[in-house]
Every structure is written in structure tokens, then in C-alpha cells.
A and B are shown apart, each in its own frame.
Chain A
């Protein structure tokens, strides 16, 4: 296995006249070939901005990549020109967007939309591209003959399958999936997750899965990064995070989910709210909500420590233990 993607200390801010929103702060991630990493966090944690940063799609202005490197197969994507980046998007790295209802163009047939990406990246005739589009549709479980239909003629689950077909049409090496199943019903979600999982295995695609659903992550990911206020607070394998969580926020997240396998009388939610990313505290961003908070937490930004091989936690509580 070799590294396919390495994000090093990525920092992205949204700068407006009145404030600076620190959306992503020093995020570092490594992804091996064929591996899936789940980026988990709540609304506003900076998950989607991280993904947009990888693809060079952060809206600028106001978005600005302050520092960091995104190394894909040995080259830093952030240093590439727009033209070079366009060659990578869709062919090497592609993205599945969250909302299938708005991700598709309503005035183009779905066949045309799948064809578009094929024709952009491969020198093929229109007829060949259409053949490829129909193959892709069959692969995601929709009759190829429906390629002349428009998005509104499909249901939500089918639209998401078409979005997946577009993303996979050029056999990308890396797939970024931004909440691919959030807008879908559970039975359809299960179908789509199975589909992504099968296609991933078939083509040995790596995946960065962005979600807030710890259940979905457990189904499809190998590694997990828990994001809070633009920082990765805990990072490790599925087993590390689910069976041996260390960070108080991770524990809080698990305490907030009603347990499906047995009935508890009360939930243990995390108190309070996520801090405003335009006004992050000096110390640990989770301090105000943390049950184990100390004075030191409010002053010092914790560094990531390795509590067991491959399992990193960013918390002062564990910083001391390790030393």
C-alpha cells in the first residue's frame, strides 16, 4: 500500500471585512490506496471546507487557504495552476455532493451529464462516451435506456446514484463523498452505501467520507477522524475510535446517540454549543463544554499525542499521561 493523499497542516479561513472565520485549522490526514477515511463532525466543524480545500474549490473570496500542503501522489495540489487542477478533478479525484436534488443540472439529460465528464477527460467520440454513460448507469443499478431522461424523472435515491455514476465515470483514484446519503431514506441509504462499497472494492478507489453519522462510518470506513471546530481532535482506526475513544468530545458524541441495541433511560448529551468559528477561544475549543476541563485547557492549545500506535488525541488530559 502506498500513500495516495496526504494533507499537512491545512488551514483555511474565510476572511470578510468584519471578521475572520477560522473554518479549518491545522488539519492533517493521510490516506492509503484503497482505504476509506471518515471525517466526522457536526454542522460547521469544517468538514466540507476541508474537502473543498483538497479539490481547490474553496470559494475565493472570502475563502483563503492560509497554509498547508495537499499532497496527492507526490505533488502538492495547492501549487497547481487552474488548468492543471481541472485535469485532476473528475479524473483523478472526484466528489459526490450532498444533495442530489441540486447537484444535477435540471435542463440536461442524465446521459449528457455523465457523458460530459467522460468527454472532458478522455479522447473519445460522442457515441463512445454515451456508451460509457449507459454502462455507468447500469453499474449503479439504473437501466441504461433511461439516459435520455431528465433528473426530475428520477427519485432521490436514483438521482444520488446518477451523481455517483458521474463521480466514478473516469475511474478516479480518490473519491470524496460529502454526506452522500444524508438526504436519503434508510433503506435507500443502505442500498447506496452497499453500492459505494462494492464499486470501491472493484476499482480499489480510496475514499474520504464526510458525514455526521457515526453509524454510516462504522459501515464503510477503515479510519476515522473526529473534527471539532476545524481541528481533528481524535484520529485512529475504526477500532480505536469506537472501542477505545479517548477525547471527551468523542465520548460525548457516542453518549448523544440513542443506543439502537438496548434502551437507556436518558441520553448523556454534551452541554452547550459549538463555539463560533469567527471567535474561537485561545485554548482548547471544546473546553467550555468539556466535563473534565481544567484552567490549563482554557489557555493552551493541546497538541496531538499518540496514545497507542496510530491513535492520536488532541487533549491536555492525555498529553500529560503520555509524558
Chain B
């Protein structure tokens, strides 16, 4: 099994009036072919920026991106166009990501026309086939997005992403805007498509239950940095970073149970503008001491395949020192 995507020390800073905003700071990860990496975190943690930077919707500040063995960190316009055939994106909001003046068939045909894949009768057939794949009835061929509900609109978004048979899709909160019963339909569809077309997903979400369901690996982000990354089952049984613990404890679970005392974290996310040399979670962390405010922790492999960035991970979790 080879890695389809390899990201090394990726940074993305934005210039703002108040200074440099560190949206993504020194993030590294890999996604094996045909697998799903879930990216979770709260709003403003840089997860969408990370997804967009990987597929060159934002230009990175520094770092390296390897896709399918090739270095795609720096590409020109022509290379990028060729690259986009293989990497696509599904957007969060199916209400604003579709042009209201284009019909369903035009929307789905658009990528095929741009890449001059087919035309005429063949185009029509391909569009029909795509509609079929994502579960859109053929009678909707000439409908417009405003006539459709959120679930169907998201299916159009998925059909557009699939049109060029990509290898890799960045899914940016694809189900957050949908009702639960529709959300489940779309999640099942995405899983089926992954199996059929051997797709590799980068699945960005804030919903912990969804991410566990769909991901093979999970990366937790906080203020632009990776705090914990490991197998999706592992994170639900052995989570080591204090932020991951608090995040998962905060998820309301639809079960009747004893009211347990939750380890709530105080305060709110701090500003990502000009962060100093410190652990970015330190201000909210119950275990923070002096070193946390003086030095940015580096990511360490605590056990095989399980990376954590925390100075005190071993004391907190009563773990033995490696070696």
C-alpha cells in the first residue's frame, strides 16, 4: 500500500491588518491510497485552509506536498490544470456552492466541458450516468438548484467532483448543512463511491460521530497545528492529548446515561495571529505549566502510528518513556 498524498511541514500564513495569521502551521501527514483521513477541530482551527492548500486553492507559504509520488509543491497554471483532474473538492454549503443560473445537467457537465472530455450525445450520456451514480433521478436533468432540497444539491456537488474520475477528493464538511436522515444517505453514498472508484478522501468535519464512522485515520487540529493523529479506532479508546480528551468529552451522546462530570475546558479558542513560542492550547489546558508557555511542543510518536504534540503527554497519561 503506497501513500497517495504526503504532506510535509505545510504552512499557510495569511497577511492581515493586525499581523500574520498562522492558519496552518507545520502540519505533516500522509494518506494511503483508498483510505480516508478525517480532519477534526473547531471553527477557526485551520482545517478548511489545510484542505484548500493541499489542492492548491490557496498557495502554501512553505512545505512540501507529494501527490502520487510526484512533488506538486510548486506547480504552474498548466500543471495545475492537469493536476485538478485527479484532485477535486466537495464543498460544505450546497446552497451557495452551485451557480443558481445553471441547470443540474449544465452543472454536472461543466467540468467535462472544461477538460474537453466529451461533447454532444456522449456528454449527455455521461451526465446521465453521473446522475445515476449519485442517486439523482433523470427527471431532474433540466431542474435548477433552487428547486431541489439540500440533500439533492449536495448530490450535484458530489457528481461534479466525480465527473473527471479523480483519485483524491477533499470533502469540506459535506454533510454539516444537512438533516440527520439525509446526512446518513449522503455518508452511505460517499462510502459506496469510495469502494467502487478506490477514492482517497480527506474528510474535514467538526462532527465527531461522523468522522469516526467514515475515517480510517483521524487528525485533530487546534489553532493551525496538529495536536493528535492516529487510527480512528485508537483515538476513541486511547486519546492522549488534553484537547482531544476535552473535545470528545464535550460531544453530546444520544443515550440515556448517568450525568457524568465532564472535563470541560474553560475559555475559548485564542487568536491565531502572531502566536508566540508556546503550546497553543496552553491557555485553556488544565495541565499547563511553565514549559508550555515557553516552547512549542513537537509531534512525537507515542506508540506506533499515534502522534501527539504535548510536552506533558507521558505524565498526564502515565506512560513510560520510549526506549
Stretch at the interface among B8-16, B105-113, B248-256, B290-298: B248-256
Contact, CB under 8 Å: B209 / A258 = yes
A157-B268, A254-B254, A257-B254 known; A187+B179 contact, CB < 8 A: no
Chain B residues, Cβ within 8 Å of A270: 181, 184
- Checking A188, A260, A261, A269 against B181 with a beta-carbon cut-off of 8 angstroms, the contacting residue is A269
Contact, CB under 8 Å: B184 / A215 = no
Chain A residues, Cβ within 8 Å of B191: 266
What per-residue 1/0 map shows which CB atoms of B118-152 lie under 8 Å from chain A?
A: 00000000000000000000000000000001110
Contact, CB under 8 Å: B181 / A256 = yes
Number of A-B contacts (CB under 8 A): 117
A268-B184, A269-B184 known; A212+B179 contact, CB < 8 A: yes
What per-residue 1/0 map shows which CB atoms of A174-200 lie under 8 Å from chain B?
A: 000000000001111111011000000
Q: How far is the CA of A189 from the CA of B150 in the complex (A)?
A: 25
Q: With a 10 A CB-CB cut-off, give which of A187, A189, A190 has the most chain B CB atoms.
A: A187
Q: Is B164 interfacial (CB 8 A cutoff)?
A: no
- Checking A187, A253, A266 against B180 with a beta-carbon cut-off of 8 angstroms, the contacting residue is A253
Contact, CB under 8 Å: A256 / B252 = no
Those of A98-153 within 8 Å (CB) of chain B? none
Q: How far is the CA of A214 from the CA of B182 in the complex (A)?
A: 15
Stretch at the interface among A16-24, A72-80, A82-90, A216-224: A216-224
Min C-beta distance of B190 to chain A, whole Å: 11
Those of B148-206 within 8 Å (CB) of chain A? 149-151, 179-185, 187-188, 191, 206
Q: How far is the CA of A293 from the CA of B184 in the complex (A)?
A: 21
Those of B193-247 within 8 Å (CB) of chain A? 206, 208-210, 212-214, 232-233, 236, 246-247
A155-B268, A212-B179, A260-B208 known; A218+B257 contact, CB < 8 A: yes
Q: Is B43 interfacial (CB 8 A cutoff)?
A: yes
Chain A's interface size range is 35 or more
A218-B252, A219-B252, A261-B253 known; A42+B179 contact, CB < 8 A: yes
Chain A residues, Cβ within 8 Å of B249: 190
A155-B268, A212-B179, A267-B213 known; A255+B250 contact, CB < 8 A: no
Min C-beta distance of B41 to chain A, whole Å: 9
Those of A224-261 within 8 Å (CB) of chain B? 238-239, 242-243, 252-261
Those of B256-309 within 8 Å (CB) of chain A? 256-257, 262, 264-266, 268-269
Q: How far is the CA of A291 from the CA of B7 in the complex (A)?
A: 46
Q: How far is the CA of A166 from the CA of B42 in the complex (A)?
A: 26
Q: How far is the CA of A97 from the CA of B111 in the complex (A)?
A: 41
Q: Is A264 interfacial (CB 8 A cutoff)?
A: yes
Q: Nearest chain-A residue to B257 (Cβ)? A: A218
Q: How far is the CA of A212 from the CA of B179 in the complex (A)?
A: 8
A215-B253, A267-B213 known; A188+B184 contact, CB < 8 A: no
Contact, CB under 8 Å: B256 / A260 = no
A186-B208, A194-B264, A266-B188 known; A218+B180 contact, CB < 8 A: no
Chain A residues, Cβ within 8 Å of B232: 263
A189-B252, A261-B253 known; A253+B181 contact, CB < 8 A: yes
Contact, CB under 8 Å: B233 / A187 = no
Q: Is A43 interfacial (CB 8 A cutoff)?
A: yes
Contact, CB under 8 Å: A213 / B252 = yes
Q: How far is the CA of A253 from the CA of B182 in the complex (A)?
A: 10
Chain B's interface size range is 35 or more
Chain B residues, Cβ within 8 Å of A238: 256
Min C-beta distance of B255 to chain A, whole Å: 6
What per-residue 1/0 map shows which CB atoms of A47-89 lie under 8 Å from chain B?
A: 0000000000000000000000000000000000000000000
A187-B265, A190-B264 known; A256+B183 contact, CB < 8 A: yes
Chain A residues, Cβ within 8 Å of B213: 258-259, 263-264, 267
Contact, CB under 8 Å: B253 / A260 = yes
Q: Is A307 interfacial (CB 8 A cutoff)?
A: no
Q: How far is the CA of A75 from the CA of B133 in the complex (A)?
A: 56
Q: Nearest chain-A residue to B42 (Cβ)? A: A185
A188-B268, A190-B262, A257-B180 known; A267+B187 contact, CB < 8 A: yes
Q: Nearest chain-B residue to A216 (Cβ)? A: B252
Chain A residues, Cβ within 8 Å of B252: 189-190, 193, 213, 215-216, 218-219
Contact, CB under 8 Å: B256 / A218 = yes
Chain B residues, Cβ within 8 Å of A217: 254
Q: Nearest chain-B residue to A41 (Cβ)? A: B179
Those of A27-56 within 8 Å (CB) of chain B? 42-43
Q: How far is the CA of A145 from the CA of B266 in the complex (A)?
A: 20
Q: With a 10 A CB-CB cut-off, give which of B209, B268, B269 has the most chain A CB atoms.
A: B268
Q: How far is the CA of A212 from the CA of B150 in the complex (A)?
A: 16
Q: With a 10 A CB-CB cut-off, give which of A190, A259, A266 has the most chain B CB atoms.
A: A190
Contact, CB under 8 Å: A218 / B185 = no
Chain B residues, Cβ within 8 Å of A258: 184, 187, 209-210, 212-214
Closest 8 CB pairs of A and B: A215-B252, A269-B184, A258-B213, A190-B250, A256-B184, A214-B254, A185-B42, A42-B179
Q: A191-B266, A261-B253, A269-B188 are in contact. List 16 more A-B contacts (CB 8 A).
A: A186-B247, A187-B264, A189-B250, A190-B262, A215-B251, A215-B253, A218-B253, A257-B254, A258-B184, A259-B213, A260-B253, A261-B255, A264-B213, A267-B184, A269-B182, A269-B185
Q: Can you spell out 9 A-B residue pairs with CB atoms less than 8 angstroms apart?
A: A213-B252, A256-B181, A257-B180, A260-B208, A261-B253, A267-B187, A268-B184, A270-B184, A273-B151
